[in-house]
Amino acid sequence: MTRRIVVVTAGLTVPSSTRLLADQLAEATTAQVTARGEGLDVQFVELREIAGELAQFMVTGGVPTPRLTELREQVASADGLVAVTPVFNGSYSGLFKMFFDALDKDSLTGTPVLVAATAGSARHSLVLDHALRPLFAYLRAIVVPTGVFAATEDFGSLGLADRITRAAAELAALVLSQGGYGVGGFAPDLAARPRRTSGNDVAEVTPFGDLLRGHTGND
């Protein structure tokens, strides 16, 4: 059986250290899933490519473009998510936040999520626990125990490689799990996960004339 994860990366440049970290996390997760005899389809979402569409969504009262509609559905139907952001002013980037603001509030309910961030200095490493985890906890996602932070000097180090491998193993176990899951006492029940929604399904609109039919105007 082939599972599917979406990798959301908010890097702004090409090449990007954020995309580099995202690639390494995707490769490690693929290796962990295939080692268990399953297939994995990895789909990348480069937020810089839809920055204008996200801004349009915000200023039009939440009307998504066709591309954004497609991405909302893609995220809501994924078996897992890898979310990677650069750090600006001690937190995730505005572009990163705009994308998750554009999702339906139930899009990530019960979804396994691996959080990661890049920055020029290790002083920003607490962004994982002080910004990213609260965001995905609010969205009712299941965040894997190991987050991955990479400062510039971390790339190529054994310490970063170990964290990537450990986080990927945790995400792979959650994605493949059909029921309970346990890593050091961390055991959410995926079988009880509520149905996720993309927010793209709009109920049929009742014509205004039908709403007023039979109304005398005296009430």
Render 104-152 in DSSP notation, one character per residue.
-TTTTTT-EEEEEEEESSGGGTTHIIIIIHHHHHHTT-EE-S--EEEEG
Which carries the bigger pLDDT value, residue 174 or residue 187? 174
- The CATH topology of domain 2-212 is Rossmann fold (3.40.50)
Render 2-51 in DSSP notation, one character per residue.
EEEEEEEE---SSS-HHHHHHHHHHHHHHHHHHHTT-EEEEEEEEGGGGH
Instruction: Quote the mean pLDDT of the chain.
Output: 88
pLDDT exceeds cutoff 80 at 192: no
Quick one: pLDDT band at residue 182, thresholds 50, 70, 90? Answer: very low
The predicted pLDDT at position 206 comes to 56
pLDDT exceeds cutoff 80 at 186: no
Q: What's the rounded mean pLDDT across residues 143-155? A: 96
The predicted pLDDT at position 212 comes to 65
Q: Which helix (H) or strand (E) holds 209?
A: helix 208-212
HSE toward the beta carbon, residue 70, CA cutoff 13 A:
8
The predicted pLDDT at position 207 comes to 63
The predicted pLDDT at position 195 comes to 55
Q: What's the rounded mean pLDDT across residues 96-100? A: 98
The predicted pLDDT at position 179 comes to 42
Q: What's the rounded mean pLDDT across residues 109-133? A: 96
Cβ neighbour number for residue 133 with a 10 Å cutoff: 16
- Nearest alpha-carbon partner for 140 in 96, 94, 190: 190
pLDDT exceeds cutoff 90 at 215: no
Give the residue extent of every domain in the chain: 2-212
DSSP type of residue 198 = -
Residues 190 and 170: their CA atoms lie apart, in Å, by 14
Residues 163 and 153: their CA atoms lie apart, in Å, by 15
Which carries the bigger pLDDT value, residue 196 or residue 214? 214
pLDDT digits (tens, 9 = 90+) for 62-84: 999 999 999 999 999 999 999 99
Q: How far is CA 3 from CA 115, 172, 183, in A?
A: 19, 10, 21
Which carries the bigger pLDDT value, residue 137 or residue 193? 137
Three-state SS for 55-92 is HHHHHCCCCCCHHHHHHHHHHHCCCEEEEEEEEECCEE
The predicted pLDDT at position 194 comes to 54
User: Please, are residues 109 and 196 in contact by the beta-carbon 8 Å criterion?
Assistant: yes
- Nearest alpha-carbon partner for 5 in 117, 92, 62, 84: 84
Residue holding tokens 């005398």?
A: 216
pLDDT digits (tens, 9 = 90+) for 8-56: 999 999 999 999 999 999 999 999 999 999 999 999 999 999 999 999 9
Residue holding tokens 């149905």?
A: 195
Q: What's the rounded mean pLDDT across residues 141-150? A: 98
The predicted pLDDT at position 1 comes to 84
